Amino acid sequence: MIIKFKNKVAVVTGSSRGIGKATVLLFAQKGAKVVVNCRTDRERGREVVDEIKKFGYDAVLVQADVSKSKDVKKLFQETIEAFGTVDILVNNAGIIRPKSFFELSAKDLEKTFSTNVIGVFLCAQEATKIMLKKKQGKIINIASMRGLPHCGREGIMGYSVSKAAVINFTKTLAKELAPHINVNAVAPGFTETEMNKVLDEKTRQSVIKDTYLKRFIQPEEIARAVLYLASGDANAVTCEVLVVDSGYSLK
């Protein structure tokens, strides 16, 4: 399977690090023109763009907070100014605020949902305005295994519930935008990102023990799943959630 994205324009939110960075790098390597997005760490975002350009690929950086409508409009305006269109949107930006149920506040939930759910909605809305003019496009939302019906966990209730909302939004939006736009989600398990580097060694070993493949996932493996769903090979795939978790959610 040879996947190419020559002349395609891909917007990847939260792509200055982790899964987003791996995804935007892979799209660029496959020929896409890419938009790197960060909320605050402009220096890191610039480094990703420089890395892409060093290898002869095309990229721009747009600093924008996806939870804010004004910023999202700016993100897509600058994308159009740079590349003229949008073919692929990867809603990757997300946050997690670990707290027990009784410590969790309404403000915590609002902050989590503003990025993890409202941000996905706002970006999808702006992207589809562009895609529908061409009657084609791909949207891939980064959910989580924690959003699956039986996989929410105590201590990260806000995150789990927000990712469940992303999964439902994905399936509902896929129906709304059919037959012109494919909408799917990838639900990662424990991945080697900064979010999981805070885990102590005992917890890491417990996680590894509980996965059928006995290992953490690499960001590049999630990126390849996203790449498939964005490609022509997945033109018949919509309304699906591709779980990439080393078998953890089977427990």
* Direct distance between the N- and C-terminal alpha carbons of the chain, in angstroms, rounded to an integer: 31
pLDDT digits (tens, 9 = 90+) for 171-190: 999 999 999 999 999 999 99
Tokens 């089977």 sit on residue: 250
So what's the pLDDT on residue 197?
67
DSSP 75-118: HHHHHHHHHS---EEEE-------B-TTT--HHHHHHHHIIIII
- 97 in Cβ contact with 141 (< 8 Å): no
Residue 1 has pLDDT above 60, yes or no: no
Whether residue 179 is preceded by a cis peptide bond, meaning omega within 30 degrees of 0, is yes
> Taking residues 65-78, what's their average pLDDT?
98
Name the band, by pLDDT with cuts 50, 70 and 90, for residue 2.
low
- Closest to 115 measured CA to CA, from 165, 182, 174, 41: 165
So what's the pLDDT on residue 200?
75
So what's the pLDDT on residue 193?
80
So what's the pLDDT on residue 183?
98
Q: From the candidates 159, 212, 228, 248, give the one annotated as an active-site residue.
A: 159
Residue 31 has pLDDT above 60, yes or no: yes
Q: How far apart are CA 220 and CA 234, in angstroms?
A: 19
So what's the pLDDT on residue 178?
98
Instruction: Pull the structure tokens for residue 147.
Output: 């959003």
Name the band, by pLDDT with cuts 50, 70 and 90, for residue 251.
confident
Q: How far apart are CA 198 and CA 153, in angstroms?
A: 17
The least confident of 32-41, 58-67, 108-117, 194-203 is 194-203
Specify the fold of 9-250. Rossmann fold (3.40.50)
Instruction: Pull the structure tokens for residue 178.
Output: 């059919």
So what's the pLDDT on residue 201?
85
> Taking residues 97-105, what's their average pLDDT?
89
The rounded mean pLDDT for the chain is 94
So what's the pLDDT on residue 26?
97
Q: How far apart are CA 207 and CA 65, in angstroms?
A: 32
> Taking residues 1-20, what's their average pLDDT?
90
Is 228 a residue of the active site? no
User: What letter does residue 218 receive in the DSSP assignment?
Assistant: P
Name the band, by pLDDT with cuts 50, 70 and 90, for residue 70.
very high
Q: How far apart are CA 131 and CA 180, in angstroms?
A: 8
pLDDT digits (tens, 9 = 90+) for 190-202: 998 877 766 778 8
Name the band, by pLDDT with cuts 50, 70 and 90, for residue 206.
confident
Residue 208 has pLDDT above 60, yes or no: yes
Q: How far apart are CA 32 and CA 90, in angstroms?
A: 13
So what's the pLDDT on residue 240?
98
So what's the pLDDT on residue 199?
74
